[in-house]
Structure 1
Amino acid sequence: MADAGPVAVVTEVDDVTADMVITELNKRGVPVVRFDPSDIGDRLLLSARFGARPAVSPAGHLRTPSRKTTLEGVRSVYWRRPTWPHFEHLDDPDARFATAQVRHGLGGSLYALPNAHYVNHPLRNHTAEHKPLQLAVAERVGLTVPPTLISNDLDEIRGFIAEHGQVIYKALRWTPYRRNDGVGLTTWAEPVTADEVDEGVAVVPHLFQARVDKVADVRVVIVGPKVFAIRIDSDLLDWRADYSKLSYEPIALSPQVEHALAEHLDLFGLASGSYDLCITRDGDLHWLELNPNGQWGWLEDETGLPIASAFADLLEQGPTP
């Protein structure tokens, strides 16, 4: 096992999923230092030193109101749901400057910890969030991917819809969105017809995908060597739209699918990831997408699967030799 250094949990204040993992680590006596980048200031102090050979670099420390740890002593980093400061009290140019200094100073130092095992490294998370790259890698490892078009060409889009008949639209990336009256909105996977698309699609690329004749969804959470697969039954196209309509059942994947998903994750250099798949009427599995930092806490509550314990195992272990 790694030395007795702490696990750094980097996340927002209200993160029930992170709380579950921290509870597991506390049970094992593993020290934890928890903070959010938006705490920078009196609640979060950083000193990182470089060039002091033969010492490792960066050397230095992080200090929160309740903890202090050396950078070189951090055993693992659980990069969950961090938020970054916006410096609303500054004017726009100063706020942009200050935000950049935090992202590249604090963030850059956290990305460079010399002895830490990342779950996951934030820069690898960022790479893996790009859906076109996810799709390409999924095909390379032999997973079945629904026909998909990413385009801002109206003729191409209408031709794709005509070719496949039933087509859905998905956002390439979720972003916070509010109406002028402050009401929050989100984008689900939605059916789309050729008549519903017009010249406005030329402004940005859009993702269109042939609709799969599915009978159930599957969320797969991979944590190091452990694979947790949960069948999700509902009558919804996008199960995230109404959690009250869902039922859950742990299932086993075929060795071939497990191997392909593990290879997909490994090609992105990730220790963990949440996959969405679906089961078709003929029993085949279709790969839909990867969320490298997906939510899973409610799945443990619903199924009793020891997912938090698996994360604690990975973080407690630290880097492998």
Structure 2
Amino acid sequence: MTEAGPVAVATEADDQTADMVITELNRRGVPVVRFNPADFGADLGLSAHFGTRPAPVAGQLVTPSRTAGLARIRSLYWRRPTWPAFEGLEEADARFAAAQVRHGLGGVLYALPGCRYVNHPLRNFAAEHKPLQLAVAQGFGLSVPATLVSNDRDDVRAFITAHRDVVHKVLRWTPYRQGGVGLTTWTEAVTADELDESVEVVPHLFQARVDKVADVRVVVVGRHVFAVRIDSGLLDWRRDYSALTYSVIDLPGRLEKALIAYLEHFGLVSGSFDLAVDRAGEFHWLELNPNGQWGWLEDETQLPLTEAFADLLEEGAS
């Protein structure tokens, strides 16, 4: 009987969530190859063959501690990888080199034969677009708050006037630094009086605020659904983790099925959903993070999330 191949984990150096899963896989005796695309050309090497071997893709991925046969990788856990920036090169050369890595290494990793992806990077990318998320969620019968994506100041002002209590959200989180300090953007309340010409530069997402009493983070791993109610009294609970209290809850069966079907629609096997619960106990869609954080939830609730991810990765492609 042929020995099962390794689980590949693509992530940055400091990733405690990946560490939890790798520790569990090691405990089970499952071989793991951990790497970060940003190390390509230094501590990471690749040699891939197409059209000359029985397998569609053959060759190897080489790290300082392991060599993995591409055709034998049973699962790829696409966690928090970073890509090389080639900062030592001239700007044009750096752009060229970065593109070669993304399309060379990336293209190979996207084409691994017989591999289970958690999740496939290209499917993650498709599912990350919030306007698409909103349309798909409504299609699955989920309650979607009234939302406007626009750079038309008159339309935005009319939307805010019509819905009165409105919040602004970024369409995509992006690393941002000012004066060497890392910044982030929270979900914030917005009024019509605050609008100025800057709203016309790019599209913005405005959404009618749910009269919520709590948030819910739902982590789906394969067919397992883990739901945690987060009470805080905050508009955006990420602003202050010390203010949060957690409780494990059961979702209505119809909602569970809709969330699993939602992931299947995008070809995903896992994802982290954010929902809001209103005063009537109804659940409202906020967003999906196909590769969301969940490690702290296990610490707070003792839910077996690490085991669920390890099961999925150890099993490989069905």
Same fold (TM over 0.5): yes
Shift of 1:2: 9.7
Shift of 1:42: 3.4
Determine what percentage of the aligned residue pairs are the same residue. 69
5+ residue gaps, structure 1, are none
Match of 1:202 among 200, 203, 214: 200
SS in 2 for 1:188: coil
The corresponding residue for 1:291 is: 289
8 Å CA contact 1:164, 1:210 repeated in 2: yes
1:100-111 equivalences in 2 (<5 Å): 100-111=99-110
Match of 1:237 among 230, 235, 246: 235
The corresponding residue for 1:44 is: 44
SS in 1 for 2:277: strand
Shift of 1:3: 5.2
AA in 2 matched with 1:110 = L
1:17 aligns with 2:17: yes
The corresponding residue for 1:82 is: 81
1:34 aligns with 2:55: no
8 Å CA contact 1:139, 1:145 repeated in 2: yes
The corresponding residue for 1:273 is: 271
1:1-321 equivalences in 2 (<5 Å): 4-53=4-53, 55-179=54-178, 181-320=179-318
Distance 1:2 1:258, change over 3 A: farther
Shift of 1:188: 0.3
CA distance in 1, matches of 2:131, 2:81: 24
Shift of 1:161: 0.4
SS in 1 for 2:33: strand
Shift of 1:199: 2.2
Distance 1:49 1:250, change over 3 A: same
5+ residue gaps, structure 2, are none
CA distance in 2, matches of 1:174, 1:89: 26
AA in 1 matched with 2:158 = G
Between the two proteins, the alignment pairs up a number of residues equal to 318
Shift of 1:9: 0.2
CA distance in 1, matches of 2:230, 2:76: 30
Distance 1:56 1:234, change over 3 A: same
TM-score, normalized by length of structure 2?
A: 0.98
CA distance in 1, matches of 2:13, 2:237: 27
Residues 29-71 of structure 1 deviation map (CA, whole Å, 9 limit, x = unaligned): 1100000001112311100001115x11210001111101100
Superposed structure 1 runs of 4+ greater than 6 Å apart:
none
CA distance in 2, matches of 1:2, 1:131: 43
CA distance in 2, matches of 1:265, 1:184: 32
SS in 2 for 1:100: helix
AA in 1 matched with 2:41 = G
Residues 209-254 of structure 1 deviation map (CA, whole Å, 9 limit, x = unaligned): 0011000000000000100000000011000011010010000000
Residues 261-282 of structure 1 deviation map (CA, whole Å, 9 limit, x = unaligned): 1111110110100000011011
Distance 1:261 1:3, change over 3 A: farther
Distance 1:210 1:244, change over 3 A: same
8 Å CA contact 1:2, 1:319 repeated in 2: no
Residues 188-221 of structure 1 deviation map (CA, whole Å, 9 limit, x = unaligned): 0000000001222111110000011000000000
Residues 77-121 of structure 1 deviation map (CA, whole Å, 9 limit, x = unaligned): 000000111111111111111101100001110010011100000
SS in 2 for 1:46: strand
CA distance in 2, matches of 1:278, 1:42: 45
SS in 2 for 1:25: helix
8 Å CA contact 1:3, 1:75 repeated in 2: no
